[in-house]
A and B are shown apart, each in its own frame.
Chain A
Amino acid sequence: MLASELAKTLGLETVNAGETDNEVTGCYIGDMLSVVMSRAEEGDIWLTVQANVNIDAVAVLTGISAIVIVEGMKADEDTVAKAKAQDITIYQSDDTAYALACKISELI
């Protein structure tokens, strides 16, 4: 399923829609960047409470399909600016990572 379709189905708020609409092939939840770096797989949609600009670098390096900032956290201005520059798709949601992951597992 494409990231945009998944976002629409889950009612996610779009922070930045990257030019490339990536296929979501898995899901990873994590907030410690080093752990995400080593464990997230290419194509995963990444659910995190982190909203600072460093999530953009992790997204580029891991090749994840999109970021979802969960639990009502809001992306920093720097995060949005860098996402626009680097073609990274970011969504936001008030839901918990667990609640979203349960739904995602049924959709992909």
Chain B
Amino acid sequence: MPNVKLHYDIDGNDFTVAGQASSNLKKVLKQLGVSTEVIRKAAISMYEGEINTVIHGKGGAADVEISTDKLIITFTDHGPGIKDISQAMQEGFSTATDEARELGFGAGMGLPNMKKYSDALNISSVLGEGTTVEIIIHLT
């Protein structure tokens, strides 16, 4: 499989376009003949990252690198940062706004889902500067 690099700009606070990057990635992976199970893992992880970037990161970017053996998705935002990463990793913990909750977000499953459906998850965050989330999914 050829190396493929994709870049997505993610608008902050625009819930109406959230999911576009994930849908596009799913389409690309299908075209590349990636297995259904890997596509499911990638779609869920990508969607959660995209939503987090909108809700918490005030917008940012997602960079995807697809190689022969793995898929790396990197989300970068310049939002407020995560105060306590271990707390944020707990299922059910959420700091989403009421507006986000009314739309069906804020279940506190974003980062836990990313961890569950990826093979490796690396998070680095600096308060007041932003957050970088790297998701690695093996293709085989």
In the complex, the chain B residue whose C-beta lies closest to that of A32 is: B107
Chain B residues with CB under 8 Å of A33's CB are: 51, 103-105, 107
Instruction: Give the distance in Å from the alpha carbon of A52 to the alpha carbon of B100 in the complex.
Output: 11
Q: Distance in Å from the Cβ of B56 to the closest Cβ of chain A?
A: 13
Q: Which residues of B contact A (CB under 8 A)?
A: 15-16, 18-20, 22-23, 26, 36, 43-44, 47-48, 51, 103-107, 109-110, 113, 116-117
Known: A38-B113, A58-B19. A32 touches B44 (CB 8 A): no
Contacts of B116 in A (CB 8 A): 38
Q: CB distance B107 to A60 under 8 Å?
A: no
Question: A residues within 8 Å of B by Cβ?
Answer: 31-35, 37-38, 42, 48, 50, 52-58, 60-62, 78, 86
Cα–Cα distance between A42 and B18 once the two chains are bound (Å): 21
Q: Which chain A residues border B16 with CB–CB below 8 Å?
A: 53-54, 78
How many Å lie between the Cα of A38 and that of B47 in the bound state?
11
Residues of B within 8 Å of A38, CB to CB, are 44, 109, 113, 116-117
Residue of A nearest to B108 (CB): A34
Contact call A34/B107, Cβ cutoff below 8 A: yes
Residues on A with C-beta less than 8 A from B48 are: 34, 37
